[in-house]
Amino acid sequence: MKKIIFPTFIILTGIIILESFGTIQPRQKDGTEPGYTGSPGDSLKNCTVCHGGKATTVSNWIESNIPTEGYTPGATYTITATNTESGGTRFGFEVSPQNISGDLLGKIVITDTTRTKLVGNNKYITYTKYGVDGIGKLSWKFDWVAPSANTGDVVFYGAFNSNFEGHKDSDQTFLSTLKVNEKNPLAIAEKESKLNSFKVYPNPATDLVSISMDLKETSNLLIDVTDITGKQVAIISNEKQSAGALTTQFNTTILPSGNYFVRISVNGKTATQKLSIAH
């Protein structure tokens, strides 16, 4: 019995010593916890919370195919996040498109189900245990559906961590951002205001809301309501209307409390106004 126990004790002791010096590669972690992108909305938290050290700010680690003139509301674009570290062999990341308050802007769509996943109520995209190994750098791709009109600037905040053969004592943390603007929001708003000015009242609304406008000519008129992602949630009117003053009402009790947009389309041209519902 002593001949069996003693060698086993030696082996276990050796394993503990090796692990304490970081020479045994740890198990691959399946992504990171939500809320560690380094954004103001995430209280500037990033990978250093768990990995220690200091974060280095870098440029161009988050790229996209969004045109230089800006995103079109509701359109889908491809975002690429790249973690670069000379000699690195293990890589991780977390990215989220937010405003200064930390609200999710637009929608993240997974295109690589093996190497990436969503966390935090789909607000963050991060790696999986199958998306960490590389040599020198590693990239991940995903799609982003742009938010509704008049959202304005969107910032993709990203935190990246890398190390060598899984050794935690050589972890490197980097922060990078990508700011994208909405395509001509002011020019569009000016054009829409000249199209057909309309009023939405009361706002906030509790039950009934009135929409009034002055049609300049007989028009094919669509009035609908969208949520903050641009998804249509109700149709108020969809018919041909004669020129002149028009007022219609909508019962808001069919929708949950929250923020929406009333959208009018006149002969194919569109204008929107924000609507708050508070039951």
**What is the Cα 198 distance to its own chain's centre?**
31
Q: What is the DSSP letter of 129?
A: T
Q: What is the DSSP letter of 254?
A: G
Nearest Cα residue to 204 out of 247, 270, 260: 260
Residue pLDDT, tens place only, 117-148 = 999 999 999 999 999 999 999 999 999 999 98
The pLDDT, as a whole number, for residue 166 is 63
Under CATH, which number does the domain 29-180 receive? Answer: 2.60.40.4060
> What DSSP assignment string belongs to 212-245?
EEEESS-EEEEEEEE-TTS-EEEEEEEEEE-SEE
The pLDDT, as a whole number, for residue 169 is 64
Burial 55-86 (b: 16+ CB within 10 A, else e): beeeeebbbeebeeebbebbeebebebbbbbe
Ranges 21-35, 129-143, 172-186, most confident: 129-143
Q: Classify 205 as helix, strand or coil.
A: strand
Residue 147, preceding bond cis, omega within 30 degrees?
Answer: no
The pLDDT, as a whole number, for residue 168 is 62
Question: Distance between CA 270 and CA 266 in Å, rounded?
Answer: 6
Between 35 and 269, the more confident residue is 35
- How does the average pLDDT of the chain come out, rounded? 85
User: Where exactly does CATH 2.60.40.1930 map onto the chain?
Assistant: 185-277
Does the reported pTM lie above 0.85?
no
Which CATH number does the domain 185-277 belong to among 1.10.3720.10, 1.10.10.10, 1.10.540.10, 2.60.40.1930?
Answer: 2.60.40.1930
User: Where exactly does CATH 2.60.40.4060 map onto the chain?
Assistant: 29-180
Answer whether residue 25 shows pLDDT above 70. no
The answer to whether 64 touches 79, Cβ cutoff 8 Å, is: yes
